[in-house]
Amino acid sequence: MNISVFPPPPLRGRLGGGSLPTAFHPLLASPLKGEEVNRASLRCRRVQILILSFTLLFSGCAHAGKVERSKSRREKDPFEASTGGVLFSKSYEEKLGQEVKKEVLKQYKLYDDSDLLAYVRRIGATLASFADRQDITYDFYVLDDPLINAFALPGGTIYITRGILTIFNNEAELAGVLGHEISHVVERHSMKHMQGGMATDLLWAVFTKGREMPLGIDIGRNLMMMSFGRGDELRSDALGMKYAYKAGYQADQVISVFQEFGRRDQSFVPEFLRSHPVDENRIAQLGDLWALVQTRQDIPPGASPLRTGVEEYEKVVFPHTYRTYFPQVESAMREMIAAVGRRDLEGMMSRVDRKFRSSWLNLSYKEFKKSYEDRFAATERITADVQFDAFRFLALDAVSALCRVSETRVHTDGRVESDTTAEIATFVKRGKSEGDTGAGWRLISLEDPSKW
Ligand SMILES: [Zn+2]
């Protein structure tokens, strides 16, 4: 297994600004340095619009939904695929898929682990064998990206991120999401969007073979595409469930995935997720679909009993997720907070990596230390506590945890101050190899929660 440390999430959040932090705010730091932002910005500029359009178009996969849109004649049988009604030829669709694939691979790295890829492909291929469309080749890839996402390209290429793999608990959940993505390809949703004239930037990319896109094609158009995609999301929920069921999976497990998305909507999630929350209707409809599919004589379950696949998933995927390191990360932060409570500067700083610094606030390890020296000097007593709401996998040796930190300071002049702040702490594991537990985890930075 050869995994490089993933660079800080590029261009997805607010790049600076915001009010100055309170309680632990000297910790607040962007993992993305100014120069890196600029370089990343330049590098991505050319493909940004195209990729963004696909991110928006397909990232809704996990999140969008308005049940009203599905109240068409097709609702009579949600498990019947609608593969027709597209003017573009299959070869055109495949050509477009290849073009977009090139752009995706400029933006993302593939996750470099053959066992994990083989596992995802095996499940994907099984599901695809039940797809209502068999005139194209379905192919599956894992992207080396910590964000939670899954999307399908025209022509059958399906991507999932390693970020999304960290939120699944079993194989049936993964199968549910892959089945959903396959369904977008089955019903040729992206081609239907193009046909509707909503994706001229994509057409431009194909017809001009990568020449600069004209100005004026902006995100607004992509957002419009997104809203058009909501009915398609519900269609794909139904077909995806059917394929997972026919493949022998406990297909209602996908409901847990959407509930998890819904839960994350309330805390900190990427912006594209926030703008397309999972609503109760979508969860309810998935429940209805699950009840319905089991009554259908024409849709036989692929196994009895149906499979959840917890053990296999844990064995293959968990070593690639933060879950392995979860307790160590928590204890590192707790030790640091405890040291703050004891006004133990040395103890606290021993948990902070010396590389810690921020380009936003221009903090350094030294300045960070100084800020706590000052704080300790002005206070009689500090009590601090930390709660962990979620974790995000960044790389084998870096994990981000969403923390809510409460701090009460009793000053020497009798004043009492209390703060609770939410922040994302990024920890790195100090050690030369995977097996080396070394000195445990150190805090390297705090991120902007809006980038979560
Ligand atoms: Zn979708």
302 alpha carbon – ligand 1 mean position (Å): 23
Measure the CA–CA gap between 67 and 433, rounded to whole angstroms. Answer: 50
Is residue 440 a contact partner of residue 348, using CB atoms and an 8 Å limit? no
pLDDT given for residue 202 in this prediction: 58
Nearest to 40 by CA among 18, 14, 9, 19: 9
Alpha-carbon span 170 to 189, nearest angstrom: 28
State in Å: Cα 66 to ligand 1 middle.
13
- For residue 197, the model assigns a pLDDT of 61
Can you tell me the mean pLDDT for 268-274? 42
CA distance from start to end of the chain = 26
Query: What mean pLDDT is predicted for residues 123-146?
Result: 95
* Domain positions in the chain: 25-32+323-451, 37-320
Residue 371 has pLDDT above 80, yes or no: yes
Task: Give the Å distance between the CA of 150 and the centre of ligand 1.
Answer: 8
User: Of 33 and 446, which is predicted with more confidence?
Assistant: 446
CA of 63 relative to ligand 1 center, distance in Å: 8
Instruction: State yes or no: pLDDT of 446 exceeds 70.
Output: yes
Whole-number percent of the chain with pLDDT over 90: 35
Tell whether the model's pLDDT for residue 265 goes beyond 60.
no
* All residues at 6 or more sequence positions from 327 whose CB lies less than 8 Å from its CB, including other chains: none
Cα of 64 to ligand 1 centre, how many Å?
8
Q: What is the pLDDT of residue 177?
A: 94
To the question of domain 25-32+323-451 being in CATH 3.40.250.10, the answer is no
For ligand 1, the distance from its centroid to the CA atom of residue 146, given in whole angstroms, is 19
| Residues 179-187, mean pLDDT to the nearest whole number | 94
